A and B are shown apart, each in its own frame.
Chain A
Amino acid sequence: MAKITLDNLAHSYLSNPTGEDDFALKELNHVWTDGEAYALLGSSGCGKSTLLNIISGLLHPSQGRILFDDKDVTQATTAARNIAQVFQFPVVYDTMTVRDNLAFPLRNRGEDPGYIAERVQKIAQMIGMEDVLNRRARGLTADAKQKISLGRGMVREDVNALLFDEPLTVIDPHMKWELRTQLKSLHHEFGHTMIYVTHDQTEALTFADKVVVMYDGRVVQIGTPQELFERPEHTFVGYFIGSPGMNVIPAEISGTQAVVNGTALTLQQNYGAPTGNVALGVRPEFVSLTKGNGLPVKVRRVEDVGRNKIVRADLFGKEINIVSPEGQEISPDMNHITFAPDHVNVYVNDWRQQGAVA
């Protein structure tokens, strides 16, 4: 177990990167605290897997250093780093039995046979495969194979970190839930540093203590699920987390006043006079429909999703989503909206602005 420090890290798949665009992973400084569970969240191709492979040593970064507990391991091999990694698609050794598959990483490290047998039994119990230990791995289903891969990742107790690269993609939904819960309890029990790559926000939010959101090769926000929800640092975070995502409304701002298409709103903080691409970000949960207060909208559609209703409306020609709580009546004369003042964020060129006390 170790604290993992990324110092000035960046990676490009090209041999001679010229501009920032050539980097799959842009410059990054971050410390992964020992024993925490992180989720690395982002859309496909945003550099999540690149970052993971750099941490595990499958890839060596073009610049910067990686430290495990203050020891530089940038050029160290995967074996030397003592890391376990589980991949998106199941990797099993076809010709081996399930038992041999689970024992393989331990045997390669020359562990004592008694200890190996005990560990394998324990892991098999954890992934629910005790009864098939003597079967060959080849004929098993994809989720059984992925459980073996997960088991192989967890079989070593002394690993510095456990990395998961979208490990539950091929697994049935009900099994997904169960395995995720098991991973989480495993984390509580052994306290490994875990990094879990995913593009599924539910998975990220349920698994992790801290979620790291990546966008276009850059880490845009690191925070608890609640922070990501309430204070998205980047419009991408707002859009990517939450369903539907955050509303981004172009506005002109001066001081504590925002003007949206001629209608003025009062903000809680003073933002000065920002220039560039200025917008307000408000989550649909914090927008309410009213009968005459606030900004005028035209309601297009109401979707009843059970616990609440999602209202799709038009605000000066742009779509805006409103989550209206269960039980609230939506009448035809509700054609204005207001925002919960605490939950209005201001973005300039996609990054959140911190206002001064008004």
Chain B
Amino acid sequence: MNKTVNQKAWFLVLPVLLLVAFSAVIPLMTVVNYSVQDTFGQNQFFWAGLEWFEEMLDSDRMWTALGRQLMFSGIILAIEVPLGIFVALNMPKSGFWSSFCLVLMSLPLLIPWNVVGTIWQIFGRVDIGLLGHTLDALGISYNYTQDTIAAWATIVVMDVWHWTSLVALLAFAGLKSIPDAYYQAAKIDQASRWAVFRFIELPKMAGVLMIAILLRFMDSFMIYTEPFVVTGGGPGNATTLLSIDLVKMALGQFDLGPAAAFSLMYFLVILLISWVFYTVMTTIDAKEG
């Protein structure tokens, strides 16, 4: 069959093109623009080529921040995913208490980032915070403004508090979609609780869990507000994650060139990891099919 050719159809995608251009492409291009130029003020720019990229790749500063960032994302994923599954498995499946739990679980998700940061910043203070004061009274040395371990523990626990619900809700949705017959068949087959989890629940949750992991990875890799409010990247640079470092560089030091190069690489790293992750998961999926 011959398809009708009508080049005017291109005009139909124009609005979307414009929208995307203004919302994404143009802002991104200004960053690209900064990353290849240098300025000495007075709005005068000089071509710098790939110098900033080279400088950033050579600097310890970016690599250590990246290391911290990977550690942070790794820790919170290692806690939130199993914990979320555990919570979902133990939630009531129906009735009033099920809805009650769902509402309760969604509450942390509704709180704005900097409010979460402020809550924990105050909560953990030794002088007036419930948590800090209690720990102090119990004789446990805890001071997130001076102690690296305490600072890390605080931002990790804060993130777990804020986002485990998301994993739990997604896992719960996955669990709810399993027909009763599966559990009944498992009973008839005399499957153990572990076997039910391993062979029924986990496979049925795999799809939503993949989404949960991807979302949590991307989000935690870009995290800024909460740790910034609580620790400001300190003590020293102990909790200076990538985005905190980036803001320091761009707005604190006004090093626009290196910061732009930094953000482009940051963006590419997230894109790359997410892509690898997604591809691996979908190939495993396809292979099993």
Which B residues, 202 to 222, have Cβ-Cβ distances below 8 Å to chain A? 203-204
Chain A, residue nearest B184 (CB): A58
Query: Which of B47-55, B152-160, B167-175, B186-194 is found at the contact surface with chain A?
Result: B186-194
User: Does A138 count as interface, using CB distance less than 8 angstroms?
Assistant: yes
Residue of B nearest to A89 (CB): B181
Q: Let me know if A91 and B199 touch, CB within 8 A.
A: no
Q: Is the CB–CB distance between A104 and B191 below 8 Å?
A: yes
Distance, CA A183 to CA B240, complexed state (A):
68
Assess the B289–A85 pair: CB atoms within 8 A.
Answer: no
Residues of B within 8 A of A153 (CB): 188
Q: How many residues of B contact A (CB 8 A)?
A: 18
Q: Mark A74-97, 1 if CB is under 8 A from B, else 0.
A: 000111000111011101011110
B188 in contact with A85 (CB, 8 Å): yes
Alpha-carbon distance A78/B182, docked complex (angstroms): 14
Check if A89 sits within 8 Å of B179, measured CB to CB: yes
Q: Is the CB of A108 within 8 A of B192?
A: yes
Give the nearest-CB partner of A80 in chain B.
B190
Q: Are B189 and A108 in contact (CB under 8 A)?
A: yes
Q: Is the CB of A152 within 8 A of B189?
A: yes
Residues of A within 8 A of B191 (CB): 104, 108
List A52-88 residues whose CB lies under 8 Å from chain B. 53, 56, 58, 77-79, 83-85, 87-88
Q: How many angstroms from the CA of A77 to the CA of B191 in the assembled complex?
A: 13
Chain B contact residues: over half helix, strand or loop, or mixed?
Answer: helix
Interface presence of A139 (CB below 8 A): yes
A105 on interface, CB distance cutoff 8 Å: yes
How many Å lie between the Cα of A138 and that of B199 in the bound state? 12
Residue of chain B at shortest CB distance from A100? B199
CA distance A94 to B182 in the complex (A): 11
Contact of B190 among A89, A91, A96, A109 (CB under 8 A): A109
8 A Cβ contacts from A150-200 to B: 152-153
Within 8 A of A (CB), among B22-81: none
Query: Which residues of chain B are within 8 angstroms of A96 by Cβ–Cβ distance?
Result: 199
Q: Could you say which residues of chain B place their CB within 8 Å of the CB of A3?
A: none
> A108-B191, A108-B192 given as contacts; is B203 within 8 A of A85 (CB)?
no
**Least CB separation from B196: chain A residue:** A93
A94 near B203 (CB under 8 angstroms)? Answer: yes
B185 within 8 A of A: yes
> For the complex, what is the distance from the CA of A153 to the CA of B288, rounded to whole Å?
24
- A335 at interface (Cβ–Cβ under 8 A)? no
Contact in complex: B184, A95 (CB < 8 Å) = no
| Complex: A104 Cα to B204 Cα, angstroms | 18
On whether the beta carbons of A139 and B190 are closer than 8 Å, the reply is no
Interface contact B179-A56, CB-CB below 8 Å: no
Contact B289 A136 (CB under 8 A): yes
Which residues of chain B have C-beta atoms less than 8 A from A78's C-beta?
187-188, 190
Check if B289 sits within 8 Å of A87, measured CB to CB: no
**B195 beta carbon closer than 8 Å to chain A:** yes
> Is B119 among interface residues, defined by CB-CB distance under 8 A?
no
| B250-289 interface with A by 8 A CB criterion | 288-289
CB pair B189 A136 closer than 8 Å: no
CB contact between A108 and one of B190, B204, B289 (< 8 Å): that residue:
B190
Residues on the A chain within 8 Å of B182, using CB: 91
Contacts of B188 in A (CB 8 A): 56, 58, 78, 83-85, 105, 153
Q: Are A104 and B189 in contact (CB under 8 A)?
A: yes
Whether the Cβ atoms of A138 and B288 lie closer than 8 Å is yes
B131 within 8 A of A: no
Q: Does B200 contact A (CB under 8 A)?
A: yes
Known contacts A79-B187, A87-B184, A89-B181; decide if A95 and B289 are in contact (CB<8 Å): no
Contacts of A88 in B (CB 8 A): 181
Which B78-114 residues sit within 8 Å CB-CB of chain A?
none
Determine the residue in chain A with the shortest Cβ distance to B286.
A139
Interface pairs A-B: 8 shortest CB-CB: A91-B185, A87-B181, A105-B189, A108-B190, A93-B199, A139-B289, A79-B190, A78-B187
27 A-B residue pairs with CB within 8 Å: A53-B184, A56-B188, A58-B187, A58-B188, A78-B187, A78-B190, A79-B190, A83-B188, A85-B185, A85-B188, A87-B184, A89-B181, A91-B181, A91-B182, A91-B184, A91-B185, A93-B200, A95-B199, A95-B288, A104-B199, A105-B188, A105-B189, A105-B190, A108-B189, A108-B190, A136-B288, A152-B185
Interface, chain B (partner A; CB < 8 A): 179, 181-182, 184-185, 187-192, 195, 199-200, 203-204, 288-289
